[in-house]
Each structure stands twice: as structure tokens, then as C-alpha cells.
Amino acid sequence: MTGAHQVHNTPIVQRFGISSFASPQPSEKESNQSGDDSGTSFGDNGTSINVDSTESSSDAAALMEYADLSIDDLVKLLAEKDNLLKLALKKLEEMREIYKSREAEWQELMERTRREAEKEKEYAIQDFAKSILDVADNLERACSVIEDRLKEIDGCKDTAGVVPLMQTLLEGVKMIDWDLEEVLSNWRIFKFDPLGEQFDPYKHHAVFEVYDDSKPPGTVAVVLKPGYEIRDRVLRPAEVGVVAAASNSNKADQALDSNKADQASGA
């Protein structure tokens, strides 16, 4: 052991002021001088202990504690103390690692909380954005209605000048619609039209099914309302009609034929 080796090679025993040889019993003269400042006292086994008169009483008491121990006992004691010190240092290192781990977890928690707070701040206008989408829908419907009415009017027979008036109205509504889209885009709100895309339950809301053999099943065939996204989230899914599967179409045809047959038999 390292502690034991150092005890034999270095004067550890001398640190305690213990000599390895037994001293003879003091003479009467020497006993009379024991009250002087010689600083020498004797243990029970005759081992001399040198204590300077300048040492404190606590140091002297500590030395006297080991006065009755032999060299082998002192070596064993130092070895035990060395082991206890190593265990304490190991425990201290474990506590240091635990502290580092807890500190890293705390830093990660703080960073995650900060990111979540920033994300919530980015999406704080979500409720407001949903409420204003109805305005956008109404403007889009107004543009569509005016365009359809313009197609029905014959410009050659327009004696009252309705066509120019409706064209001006259409331009004004379209300008409002464009301004609204620009405002929404400034807040990272974008419209998407999924016509012709494959149905996505996270982005589309299927309202009904249509039967169209020219398109694969699950294709968005009709868009009732466009969808909107805010940053990377779906603010409102698009309301769509989806192409039904071939099995569903066959079932519908069979049901229709069955109804016709029932009607014919009843007639």
C-alpha cells in the first residue's frame, strides 16, 4: 500500500514525535526536572513522546492519543485513513458528476422553455387569424359572383352601362382581396388550394365524395374552401370533395340499379 510504504520510508512516526526505541526510566534528578520546559513525556509502554512547549494543548492531546500504539498499529491506522480519504474523494467526484448532470438538465429545460415561449409568441395571433378568414372567403365569393354575372350580360345590348359599372366593382373587390392576402402574408399566413392533390387528412377536410373514373381514388376533385397555413402549422384545413374508390362507386351504381328495378316492379 502507498500509505504503508510512505510510513516505512519517511519519518511519519517522527511527525507524531514518537521514537522507535524504548527509553530507560528517568532518574530521580530527571524526574525532578520533568516540571521544566524540556517538553518530554512518556507513554505507558515506555515510548518517548517529544512535545515542544510551544505546541498548543490540542496538538499535544492529539499526539497523546497515539502514544499507546505500536508502529504496526500506526501503519494500519494510516492505511485505514488513506482508504477513507480515497473513498471520500471518490464520493466527491461522484457528487461533482451528479451536479454537472443536473446542471446540464437544467440548462436543457431552460432552453426548451425559451423555445416553447418563442413558438407560442409566434402563434399568438392564431385565433385572430381564424376569425378573419371568413372575411377572405366572402371577398372571394363576391369576386366569383360578379365575374359570373359579367359573363351572362351581353355587352352589345348593355344600354344602361351595367357592364362598366360591374367591372369597376369587380376591380375594387379584387383590390381589397389582394390587400387582405398581403396583410395575411406579412403575418406568415398563406392560402393553399389543394385541387388535384392527393387527400391529406392533416391539411384537408373531406366534406363529400365524387365518382370520377378519370382520376385516381383519394384525389381532391372539388375545393369548397381553400386552406390556410400559419408558418408551419395548418391554420384551417381546406374543405374538399374527394374522388371515391372504385368499390364505393360500384356499390353506388348497384344501389341505383336496385332502386330503378324496385320502381319498375312497383309500377
Encode the chain (267 residues) as per-residue pLDDT tens digits: 444 444 444 444 444 444 444 444 444 444 444 444 444 444 444 444 454 544 456 666 666 666 677 788 888 888 888 899 999 999 999 999 999 999 999 999 999 998 888 888 778 788 888 888 888 888 888 888 888 887 777 666 766 677 787 888 888 888 888 888 888 888 889 999 999 999 999 999 999 999 888 889 999 999 999 999 998 889 999 999 999 987 655 555 555 555 555 555 554
Provide φ and ψ at 230, rounded to 5°: -115, 110
User: What is the pLDDT at residue 199?
Assistant: 95
Task: Output the pLDDT for position 40.
Answer: 47
Packed helices 2-9 and 71-122: angle between N→C axes, nearest 10 degrees: 140
Give pLDDT, residue 198: 94
Beta strands in the chain (DSSP E): 18-22, 40-42, 47-50, 189-192, 204-210, 220-225, 227-230, 233-236, 238-243
CA 181/CA 161 separation, integer angstroms: 31
Phi then psi for residue 256, to 5 deg, are -65, -45
Write the DSSP symbol of residue 25: P
How many C-beta atoms surround the C-beta of residue 204 within 10 A?
A: 21
pTM for this entry: 0.51
pLDDT at 60: 67
- Whole-number pLDDT of residue 262: 59
Give the span between the Cα atoms of 80 and 76, in whole angstroms: 6
pLDDT at 168: 84
Q: What is the largest CA-CA distance in the chain?
A: 152
Q: What is the DSSP string of 134-155?
A: HHHHHHHHHHHHHHHHHHHS-G
Residue 223: the pLDDT is 94
